[in-house]
Structures are given as structure tokens and as C-alpha cells.
Structure 1
């Protein structure tokens, strides 16, 4: 089994963790923005399929 030769410093560990969290933060902002855009139905970059309700008169 592979074992690291030396211990990773705390600063390097924290730096990697912060980078990982920063990426997740920006992905979450993008996902929220996309959700808001799709709910507003004003985006021109996506095709929306809206089901039309038929009324029986």
C-alpha cells in the first residue's frame, strides 16, 4: 500500500481545502443562477418545453 514519505504541511493542506471549497462555491452560484434563469423563462440560451393545458368548454 502506498504511504507518503513525509507529512504534508498544514498550510498546504488548508490551501488545497480552501481551493476545493472555492470551486464548490462557484459551482453552487452558477447552479443557482441557472435555476433562477429557468424559472423566469427569459433566458435565450435554453429551449423550454412548456406544456399547454387544454380547456374543455
Structure 2
């Protein structure tokens, strides 16, 4: 799950938009629940 978090973070950072950040947060929360 850690590598997925890094990958999602890199994607959100590269896009650098509010929507991508919200998506990033949702993905991280989903990983934590798993």
C-alpha cells in the first residue's frame, strides 16, 4: 500500500490541482482502511 501512496502522491503533485489533491486524499484513506 505504501508504494501506491507514493505513486498517488506523485500524480497529485504533478497535476497540482484541487481535484487531484482531493482524489489523492480519498485514495490514501482507502489504502489505510485496507
Q: TM-score, normalised by structure 1?
A: 0.32
Q: TM-score, normalised by structure 2?
A: 0.49
Would you tell me which structure has more helix in proportion to its own residues?
A: 2
